[in-house]
Chain A
């Protein structure tokens, strides 16, 4: 790819991320409880989405890649929070309006699990949920162009 084409692709990516930043804020609402958490999750989702879009394979569209980034990073955030075992999980935001809305949302959600939160996110943001969760089986190697090159070697190299 020449420099012009590369910079055009990057500009396209940035404008998509700018357009979609509200969706990213939405997932942060469901999984972050403090400003610091919110900031960290937002940054991670944006960089994950950028990476997914840049390295996407097959016919998966950019929008799906952004949603997958939201869900996967929220899951990792949740796993990390579980491991940190913070003694207090209270909601803390500087803005009183935001703090109040977060508390109301938290009350409304009650003890909903992460999968329910994902479904809520999909429902409230009107997202097409196909291809976001995958099947319940173990992952298989992605169909890449390399699969046709050396099938035997690929089979030996990839764990299923």
Chain B
């Protein structure tokens, strides 16, 4: 590449014509307050929504656990497990949102920026495992609550066959996991792969360029 020629051309590059000018100074007011990240990279809204939902479930789970503890404690293990799962899920999402710190993310240098985007997407993909477990537990708890009111005798026999409850739970978790793995997750997986490949390309090119500079 002839750098001198390119520099000359660069300096004489025409202005974008008025009809094509992407922005007028009045538009700047709007631009400085918009979010620069596209939906694929900006997960804050999704994470906040999940945190709100999980908090509500956590409160409900806590209340149900308390009722079990004060009552006959027949089904205490399920409610303890549900409460612990919700606590960890909530912790995981809060940790992810704190780590992402979207307001300062774009201010990082390129390689750490791409690395951080990669970690955020990786953790977001991992969070779907927790989501499928929470959905499965919620369905089972709702089913039990409905059965307690609709048919107490049937509920008693369901409780006596303890293995069937845990088997149903495992089946639900695996089903939701497979469902999410084939519907929502692939596009995030593709994105994280592209980011990883891109970061690797930049790192390799940077290392090569540094070697040339030393030589």
Interface residues in chain A, defined as those with a beta carbon under 8 Å from any beta carbon in chain B = 10, 13-14, 17-18, 21, 25-26, 28-29, 35, 38-39, 42-48, 50-52, 54-57, 60, 65, 68-69, 71-73, 75-76, 78-80, 82-83, 93-95, 97-98, 101, 104-105, 108-110, 112-116, 118-120, 123-124, 131-136, 138-140, 142, 157-159
Q: How many residues of B contact A (CB 8 A)?
A: 59
Interface residue B211 (Cβ < 8 Å from any Cβ of A): no
Q: Find out whether the CB atom of A48 lies under 8 angstroms from the CB atom of B28.
A: no
Q: Find out whether the CB atom of A133 lies under 8 angstroms from the CB atom of B20.
A: no
Min CB gap B11→A, angstroms: 8
- The 4 closest A-B CB pairs, nearest first, are A134-B109, A115-B205, A139-B112, A50-B32
From A56, A116, A157, contact of B107 by CB (8 A): A56
**Closest partner residue, chain B, to A120 (CB atom):** B6
Interface residues in chain B, defined as those with a beta carbon under 8 Å from any beta carbon in chain A = 1-3, 5-7, 9-10, 13-14, 16-17, 19-20, 22-23, 25, 28-29, 31-38, 40-41, 95, 98-99, 103-104, 106-116, 119, 123, 190-191, 194-195, 198, 201-203, 205-207, 209
From A21, A82, A158, contact of B99 by CB (8 A): A158
Min CB gap B123→A, angstroms: 7
A79 in contact with B198 given A72-B108, A108-B2, A115-B209 (CB within 8 Å): yes
A55 in contact with B104 given A44-B36, A82-B198 (CB within 8 Å): yes
Min CB gap A115→B, angstroms: 4
From B13, B17, B109, contact of A29 by CB (8 A): B13
| Chain B residues with CB under 8 A of A131 | 109
